[in-house]
Every structure is written in structure tokens, then in C-alpha cells.
A and B are shown apart, each in its own frame.
Chain A
Amino acid sequence: MAIGIIKDSELVGKHVILEDASDVGTVGDIYVDVFDWHITKFDLVVDKRYIERLGLDKSIIRKSRLSIKTHLVTAVGDVVHLNGSIEELRRSTRAVQPHEAAKEASAAPAAAKRERAEEPKRYHRKGHDEEKPSKL
């Protein structure tokens, strides 16, 4: 196999190392855009030592994950080298925490409904006031 060509199963599970030598976790699911077969991102399964430092919530059921864009990868060998430090990773990536995403998704319509309920009812019928007969 040519240099730089690896099986997906070889990439999944590789340790992800940052510039500051932090072993932040391993490669999880890989995402591909099937239009041009470009690998857009992969899930970083965060090591438990780094969960809090990355501002993620600990979950008993599911491991914490971060979505890593492939352009942040500087090299792939025995490990995957990523650009940046823990702090930069914390700032630049978006947490992929399914329970949180689900919570947000369910909270959004409820919040919108609440807002609608609090909002005073407005009627914008043109000329409504003018047409109203005045009390004698």
C-alpha cells in the first residue's frame, strides 16, 4: 500500500496527539462527503483525563467526543498529530455530546412556545381602530 494510504480500520482507534504532546484520545467515527469522497472530519473520543480541560461534561453512558476537521491534522503515522494545544482545541472545536444536543433540540421549541405565550397578542388589521364605532 502506498504511503499515506491506510485502511479506515487502521485509522479508527489511533491516538490523537496535540502539539503540546497531550494524548487527548483516539479517532472515532470518520465522516465522508460522498459527493467528492472527501473526508471532512472525524470524531475524537476524548480521554477521560482531558474531558474537563476541554470543557466537556462527563457522561456515564457515552464517551465524550469532539468533532475534528481533517485540515487540523498535520500527520498520520502510528498516531494522529493535530495542530494546536489543548486550549486551542477547546476554543476551536465544537463538542459533540449527543445528550446535550438532544437537550438543546428539545429546549428550543419549548422556549419558542414560552416566548410566544408571553408575547402580548397583536392584531394588525389595517384601519381596525378607525372603523371602531366610538361610544356615544
Chain B
Amino acid sequence: MAEFKLSNIKGKRIFTTDGLTVGEVVRFEIDTVQWKVRSLVVKVIDTAGASLDLKKAFIASNEILIGKDIIKSVGDVLNLNVSMDMLKAQLSAPTSKKTVVSKR
């Protein structure tokens, strides 16, 4: 069992399987019925935003929801089990918006 404080995961960088940075964890969505983390809110860096076809916000930065199912490992950083292209595909898939990854 690897137990972390949620506050210690905040700020960690997230990487795809092809070694690209997605961004950093800013907050979590918690299911208080099942007591599980449902998804992580990630602040996307500009380069990843371009790769993911996210519109660049004028003032605020882009944030995406990443489902816990696509997180492979947590340590000093978070590794995803998808590549940037797969992440982009999941973002653009209408069915997956609510479940795995969604644009905010």
C-alpha cells in the first residue's frame, strides 16, 4: 500500500508514455460515498495544450480532468499509461468526456 497525502500529490508533474509533460496536478475530485478519488484536475502546460488541441485561454490556463484509471504510477511524478495522442483521442471522444478525460 502506497499512501500519500493528497496535498503531497498536488503540484506533481504528469507524463505520458511517450515522455511528454501534460502538466501538473492542481486538485482532486473525491467521491465521498465510495471514498475514492474520482479524477485529477491537471493544469495543462502550453506545449501539451497545443498537442491536445486545447484552445489557449486568454488569462486562465487550460485544465483537464484525468481519470484515475489512466494513471500508471505515482512517485516523484505521475506516469500515465497513455501516450499524448491517445490522451488527445480520449479528450475528443464525446463518450469519454465524463468518464476518463474531459475538457473543462
* A interface residues with partner B (beta carbon < 8 Å): 1, 4-9, 11, 29-40, 70-71, 73, 76
- Which of B15-23, B29-37, B44-52 lies at the binding interface? B29-37
B29's partner among A1, A34, A35 (CB-CB below 8 A) is A1
Question: Are B35 and A38 interface neighbours, CB within 8 A?
Answer: yes
Known: A7-B27, A11-B30. A38 touches B36 (CB 8 A): yes
Which one of B30, B38, B74 contacts A34 once the chains associate, using CB atoms below 8 Å? Answer: B74
Min CB distance A128 to B, Å, is 48
Option from B1, B34, B38 in Cβ contact (under 8 Å) with A33: B1
**B32 close to A37 (CB less than 8 A):** no
| Contact, CB under 8 Å: B35 / A8 | no
Q: Is the interface of B mostly helix, strand, loop or mixed?
A: strand
- The reply to whether B33 and A4 form a contact with Cβ atoms under 8 Å apart is yes
A35 and B36 contacting across the interface, CB-CB below 8 Å? no
Question: Which B residues fall within an 8 A CB radius of A?
Answer: 1-7, 9, 27-38, 41, 68, 71, 74
Asked if B5 and A30 sit within 8 Å, CB to CB, the answer is yes
- Please, how many angstroms separate the alpha-carbon atoms of A8 and B6 in the complex? 8
- Within the assembled complex, what's the spacing in Å between the Cα atoms of A39 and B6? 9
Shortest distance from the beta carbon of B97 to any chain A beta carbon, whole Å? 14
Q: Give the residue of B7, B29, B34 whose beta carbon is less than 8 angstroms from that of A6.
A: B29
Q: Which of A30, A36, A73 contacts B6 (CB 8 A)?
A: A30
Known: A5-B29, A30-B6, A34-B74. A39 touches B1 (CB 8 A): no
**Alpha-carbon distance A70/B3, docked complex (angstroms):** 14
Given A30-B5, A32-B6, A32-B9, A37 contacting B68 (CB threshold 8 A) = yes
Contacts of A11 in B (CB 8 A): 30, 32
Q: Is the CB of B35 within 8 A of A6?
A: no
A124 → chain B, closest Cβ, in Å?
40
Instruction: List the 5 shortest-distance A-B pairs measured between CB atoms, nearest first.
Output: A76-B32, A4-B33, A37-B37, A34-B74, A8-B28
Our pick among B4, B29, B33, B74 for the contact of A7 (Cβ within 8 Å) is B29
Cα-based distance from A33 to B1 in the complex (angstroms): 6
